[in-house]
Amino acid sequence: MRQTIRLYLMLGALLAANFTASATEGMWLPHLLGSLNEKEMKGMGLKISASDIYNVNKGSLKDAIVSFGGFCTGEIISSKGLLLTNHHCGFDAIQKHTTLQNNYLDRGFWARNLREELPNPGLTATFIVRIEDVTKQALAGVSASLSEKERQSAIDKNLNGIKSGAVKESWQEVLIKPFFEANQYFLFVTETYKDVRLVGAPPSSIGKFGADTDNWMWPRHTGDFSIFRVYAGKDNKPADYSTENVPLSPKHFLPISLDGVAENDFTMVFGFPGRTSEYLPSNAMKLLVEGQDPARVGIRDAALKVIDGYMRKDEQIKIQYAAKQASTANAWKKWIGEMQGVRQTKGVERKLAYEARFRQLAGANSEYGTLLDSLNQLYTDLAPYAVARDYYTELVRNVEMLTLANSLVNMIQDTRNKGEDKYPALRDRFLATAASGFKNYNNDVDRDVAAALFDLYFKEVPSNKIGGEGYQIWMETNKDGRTTANHLYSKSALTSYAALKAFLDRPYATVEADLWKDPATRFLIALRNGYSELVSKPYDAIVPDINRLQRRYMQAQMDVLKDRRFYPDANSTLRLTYGKVGGYAPRDAVEYDFMTTLDGVMEKYKPGDYEFDVPEKLRELYASKDYGQYGQNGKMPVCFIASNHTTGGNSGSPALDAYGNLIGLNFDRTWEGTMSDINYDASICRNIMVDIRYVLFVVDKFAGAKHLIEEMKLVHPKKAKVAPVRKKAA
């Protein structure tokens, strides 16, 4: 008897351990923290309550967090609307104000007063006023018998009704989004400020220190921050840009802790994570890391090799391709990390074990048990199309001639739909975009990229996923990427702006008829037709079934695994994640510490190098150890890592201490942990933050912008807790 009870208890513990994700996994909805997370967070060290984090009746932490332009996160750090985000989030804005005379990217920018702050048309900051569960209303009248299409249109109708009935002020907006694979719906009332001005940015040699070589890596030494200010109308409400606008007076702004972090400190990251897929079945994960990632990485590998070669030997090309190269390399490196991380932590095997247990609890022959098999089968069916789809998408994305041909074909189709009389307007808009593209374009680079990518594409993609016309051109050009590329680039009108303009500055009918005669456009059309018939169509035919089963599998997991706490996948809505400061051991014999210092910046310093140069002023401050109140034991902390579960979009998010004070600025993840989007593992997943003391040090000591420091509220939460030391009697 005793024996059985023990066995039973042990089994229970085992199951619980396997189903309960690590305490640091999860991107939680702020309005549900009280019921789902508060207890655990307090156990981990949180000193405030869930209602200090999210509260609709009084100012709370959430009122200091904004979606920055819809692609990053920012936080308010003064009573006058000062906003902190990453350098790479403000990069576009900084670049737009940059000229050769005022090279803010190179030398940094610091407004000395409000008048010098620079407007950025189109840049926004969005606050979340309130979050509501509207699942019941959204799904009213929706039954299982509806097709996916019918279901969606029923829901859309419901959502429109909810939106128009929502209580809000005239300057606010309402947004409703699906969660848990559209099993639940939440409504967000938001306020979007449209006058966001640039206040300060360090030189790239600080804000982008380490560039691509260090990107996604630890140890890291980047001061990845920039400062903006939110402006409002005189009534403190959102207003279009105007010189009459005044700095925003926020409901809450974050106090800044000067006490730094220690190992195992509790931390939270509050922001707008973009996209994760944590509830995929095993076959979907397999498809990603064994099919799709390798395809995308392969294409970008080949493209980057060519581009890097040119950038190294040609200064002009280096400038032209810098931004493109950075964005191509960013995802490329992330996918490599994702494949490695999943392999190393046996992600697929873990999924399989999870599924076995799910099946056991659900009953193998129950509706839920068979559902999982069907879903996995669908991903197996999808696999060849998904991989071919990625090859095609990456080919057209990375060969700019094909990208251009593709938008040209789209423009012509658009004209066909809207009528010939619209041609001049559509053409001019197309040419304007093309003109700015050609500024950062070099034919030799693109031709060499094309040659390499054609070889890869026709080798890796089966001909029955390419189609006759495209394959025929490949055969006619000797089945050789170089020959195909030469054929396209020597005769196409798409190789220069002048030629393109001449080609399009003719009567519409002629242009349309001649599309086929241009070798580049013809090649694109041939590939595109084949793709849409042989890849895209069958792919799109499977996706609705996947969506339907993925939705039911999500619900099934929530029904069957009663002990597991579920958080919805990221979808660019406000989330809180929490974890602990700490290093990690990514592989045998390698162990990483949790904090870097200015010493490491100097170790990496390479005079004149475009990634690892260090500004003179910073070297002087290092030599004199002039760190002011920001140093710690004679060192200047730079970055630190913790086990917060973050993803793209969390860049610029505040890292907060147990009291809700700002201690850092999130900007990246470690390479081995980029798989956290599909397979979070607390043992090696770490987010990377700039230590807030480094930010303040750069603002104060490096840039001399003391007036900004004076606007902020600096606090000492740890020191305040330590009992005052009595002087020993002599």
Catalytically active residues are 88, 224, 651
Nearest to 382 by CA among 611, 616, 538: 538
Q: 647 is in the binding site of which of ligand ASP, ligand ARG, none (Cβ under 5 to 8 A by kind)?
A: ligand ASP
Using CB under 6 A as the binding rule, whether residue 132 contacts ligand ASP is answered as no
H-helix or E-strand spanning residue 600? helix 598-604
The first and second tokens of residue 483, run together, are 């020959």
The yes or no reply on residue 646 touching ligand ASP (CB under 6 A) is yes
Query: With contact defined as beta carbons under 8 Å apart, do 575 and 191 qualify?
Result: no
User: What is the number of alpha carbons within 13 Å of residue 121 lying toward its C-beta?
Assistant: 1
Beta strands in 573-660 (DSSP E): 575-580, 584-587, 590-592, 595-597, 637-642, 654-656
For ligand ARG, the binding residues in 633-652 under the rule CB under 6 A are 648, 651
Peptide bond into 219 cis (omega under 30): yes
DSSP summary character for residue 146:
S
Q: Which is nearer to ligand ARG, 500 or 675 (CB)?
A: 675
Residue 650 interacts with ligand ASP (CB under 6 A): yes or no: yes
693 φ/ψ angles, rounded to the nearest 5 degrees: -65, -30
- When CB distances are held under 5 to 8 angstroms depending on the partner's kind, the choice from ligand ARG, ligand ASP, none that residue 326 binds is ligand ARG
Q: Is 67 in the site for ligand ASP (CB under 6 A)?
A: no
Q: Is the Cβ–Cβ distance between 257 and 658 less than 8 Å?
A: no
Least distance to ligand ARG, CB of residue 93, Å: 15
As a whole number of angstroms, the longest Cα–Cα distance in the chain is 100
CB under 8 Å to 703, separation ≥6 — which residues? 108, 110, 200, 202
Closer residue to ligand ASP in complex, CB, 250/648: 648
Q: Which residues in 228-287 contact ligand ASP (CB under 6 A)?
A: none
From the list ligand ASP, ligand ARG, none, pick the one residue 211 interacts with, judged by a Cβ distance below 5 to 8 Å according to partner type: ligand ARG
The tokens describing 393, both together, are 């998408």
Q: How far apart are CA 380 and CA 361, in angstroms?
A: 24
Q: CA angle, corner 510, sides to 509 and 512, nearest 5?
A: 65
Residue 229: contacted member of ligand ARG, ligand ASP, none (CB under 5 to 8 Å, by partner type): none
The minimum distance between CB 72 and ligand ARG, in angstroms, equals 8
Applying CB under 6 A, does 211 fall inside the site for ligand ARG? Answer: yes
Stretch that binds ligand ARG, among 208-216, 240-248, 385-393, 508-516 (CB under 6 A): 208-216
Give me the least distance between CB of 646 and ligand ASP, in Å please: 5
669 forms part of the interface with ligand ASP (CB under 6 A) = yes
Tokens 């493109």 belong to which residue? 324
The least CB distance from residue 207 to ligand ARG, in Å, is 10
Instruction: Give the three-class secondary structure for 110.
Output: strand
Provide, rounded to whole angstroms, the least separation between the CB of residue 419 and ligand ASP: 42
Pick what 646 binds: ligand ASP, ligand ARG, none; C-beta below 5 to 8 Å, kind-dependent. ligand ASP
- The residues, any chain, with a CB within 8 Å of residue 718's CB and separated by 6 or more, are 257, 259
Q: Parallel, antiparallel, or unpaired: how do β-strands 256-257 and 118-119 relate?
A: unpaired
Q: How many residues bind ligand ASP (CB under 6 A)?
A: 9
- Interacting residues with ligand ARG between 255 and 314 (CB under 6 A): none
Shortest Å, Cβ 204 to ligand ARG: 10
Query: Could you tell which of ligand ASP, ligand ARG, none binds residue 650, using a CB distance below 5 to 8 A set by kind?
Result: ligand ASP
Contacts of 306 (CB under 8 A, 6+ apart): 445, 448, 449, 452
Select from ligand ASP, ligand ARG, none the partner in contact with residue 181, using the beta carbon and a kind-dependent cut-off of 5 to 8 Å. Answer: none
Both tokens of 424, joined, read 């001049």
Of these, 63, 212, 518, 711, which contacts ligand ARG (CB under 6 A)?
212
Q: Which tokens go with 54?
A: 């999210």
Number of residues forming the site for ligand ARG (CB under 6 A): 10
Q: Is 215 in the site for ligand ARG (CB under 6 A)?
A: yes
**Residue 325 or residue 521: which is nearer to ligand ARG going by CB?**
325
Binding ligand ARG (rule: CB under 6 A), the pick from 216, 358, 539, 630 is 216
Scan residues 319-378 and list those touching ligand ARG (CB under 6 A).
Answer: 326, 330
Q: What's the sign of the alpha-carbon dihedral 134, 140, 143, 148?
A: negative
| Residue choice 648, 654, 660, 664 for contact with ligand ASP (CB under 6 A) | 648
What is the nearest approach in angstroms of ligand ARG to the Cβ of residue 333? 8
As a whole number of angstroms, the distance between CA 387 and CA 46 comes to 44
**What is the rounded distance in angstroms from the CA atom of residue 388 to the CA atom of residue 128?**
40
Measured between alpha carbons, how far is 7 from 20 in angstroms, rounded to an integer?
20
The two structure tokens encoding residue 131: 């979050």
To ligand ASP, the closest distance from the beta carbon of 650 in angstroms equals 5
Give the nearest distance from C-beta 267 to ligand ASP in angstroms: 15
Contact set with ligand ASP (CB under 6 A): 646-651, 667-669
Contact set with ligand ARG (CB under 6 A): 88, 211-212, 215-216, 326, 330, 648, 651, 668
